[in-house]
A = this chain, B = another copy of it.
Amino acid sequence: MLDDRKLDVLRAIVEDYVQSQEPVGSKALVERHSLGVSPATVRNDMAVLEEEGFITQPHTSAGRIPTDKGYRLFVDKLTDVKPLTGAEKRAIATFLEGAVDLDDVVHRSVRLLAQLTQQVAIVQYPTLSRSTVRHVEVVTLTTARLLLVLITSSGRVEQRVIELAKQIDDETVGELRARLNTAVVGQALTDAAARVTSLPEAFHRDDKAVVTQVVAAFAAAVADDRSDEKVAIGGTANLVRFGEDFDRSIKPLLEALEEHVVLLRLLGEATSPSLVTVRIGHEVPHAQLAATSVIASGYGPDKQSLANLGVVGPTRMDYPGSMAAVNAVARYVSQILSDA
C-alpha cells in the first residue's frame, strides 16, 4: 500500500512541518526535497497518506500536517536517532562532570536537556524504593531531639527531626547508630523497614521506648511515597517558542508541570537505561496533553533503572534530535551515578 516514495513523502512532510510549523504543500515539497517527481504525483501520494490517516489538512485549501499516527510511523520506521556531534558530546560531559552532589547532577541535567532540545525538560530524582541504604546517621540536637539522616546509594539524603518522648544519652545514640547501620547498610530501602523492627529488643528496657520511636521514624522515612515524586523541571521558557495556540498547548502543559504526579505518569514506567520511549499526542496518558509528546528514558547505574528523565513538547517536535539528547543525557547521568 505504502511504497517507498510515499514513505519518503511522509518523511519530508514531517521534517518540513517540524521546521516551518506550517502546513506543507505539494509544490514546496518537491522544491525543498529532491523527490524526482512532479507536484501532481506528490499530491496523489498525499491523498493516499491522508486516506490511511497519516496526514491531514487543517482546512481544505491548506497543505498537510502529520497526524499522531504519522509521527508514530516516522519515529518507528522513517528515522534513526540522530547521532550527536562530538562537540555536543563534549559539552554534555563537561557540563555534567563538575557536579558536586546529587542535587547538582539533577539540576545540571535538567538544564542541559532543556538547552539541547530547546524544550521543557524533566528529571526525576532517583527513587528511594529502588535504592539501597548507604549510611544512616543519628545526630543529637538536644537531649530530647534527634536528627535522623539517611543517605542512599544514589546520593539522596533524607532527614527527619524526631521529638523524643524521653531523653536519650549519647552512649545509647552511638549504639543505636551502630546497630541501625549494621542492620540496613547495603539493603534495599524497601526491605530496610523490616530489618529494623526487632532492633529495640537489644536495648535496655529504659531505652526501648525511644529506640522504638526512632525505628518507627526510620521506617516511615524509607516508606514515604512522596519522596519518589521528587522531580526537577527546566526549560519552561522554551514554551514561548510555540506561543501561537496558547490555550491549547501551553496552558495545559504549564498546569501539568505543577502536578508532579502527572509528570511522573508522563515519564512512564521506568524503562531500562538507554532505551528511549516516545509517546505522541493521544498516546500521552493525560487527556489535556493531546497536543503534546513525551520523550523519556530511564537512567541509573547498572542495568536497572533508578528513575526517569525526558522532555515534553508539542507533537510537532524534532524527534530524532530530542531522542538523541535524552538518550545521551540518560547515559551520562547513569555513568556519573555509578561512579559516585
Interface set of A (CB-CB < 8 Å, partner B)? 100-102, 134-135, 137, 139, 141, 147, 149, 151, 155, 157-161, 224, 234-237, 239-240, 243, 246-247, 250-251, 254-255, 257-258, 340
Known pairs A134-B141, A236-B236 / 16 extra A-B pairs, C-beta < 8 Å:
A100-B224, A101-B161, A134-B139, A134-B147, A139-B151, A149-B157, A151-B159, A236-B257, A237-B254, A237-B255, A237-B257, A240-B251, A240-B254, A240-B255, A243-B246, A243-B247
- Shortest beta-carbon distance from A177 to chain B in Å: 10
A216 to chain B, nearest CB (A): 14
Instruction: Give, as a whole number of angstroms, the nearest-CB distance from A138 to chain B.
Output: 10
Return chain B residues, CB-CB under 8 Å to A258.
234-237
Are B254 and A236 in touch, CB under 8 angstroms? yes
13 A-B pairs with C-beta separation under 8 A = A101-B160, A134-B147, A135-B147, A147-B151, A237-B251, A237-B254, A237-B258, A240-B246, A240-B247, A240-B254, A240-B255, A243-B247, A246-B246
Return chain B residues, CB-CB under 8 Å to A257: 236-237
Least CB distance, A11 to chain B, in whole angstroms = 33
Residues A161 and B340 in contact, CB atoms below 8 Å apart:
yes
**A125 → chain B, closest Cβ, in Å?**
11
A139-B141 in contact (CB<8A):
no
Q: B251 near A101 (CB under 8 angstroms)?
A: no
Contacting pair A151 B151 (CB below 8 A): no
CB distance from A220 to the nearest CB of B (A): 9
Q: Which residues of B contact A100 (CB under 8 A)?
A: 160, 224
Complex alpha-carbon distance, A340 and B100, angstroms = 27
A149–B156 CA distance with the chains assembled, in angstroms: 12
CB-contact partner of A254 in B102, B135, B239, under 8 A: B239
Chain B residues with CB under 8 A of A239: 254
- Across the interface, which residues of B come within 8 angstroms of A141, CB to CB? 134-135
- Chain B residues in 8 Å Cβ range of A250: 240
- Rounded to whole Å, the gap between the CB of A304 and the closest CB of chain B is 21
- Chain B nearest CB from A317 CB (Å) reads 18
- Cα–Cα, bound, A239→B239 (Å): 12
A157 to B160, CA, bound (A): 11
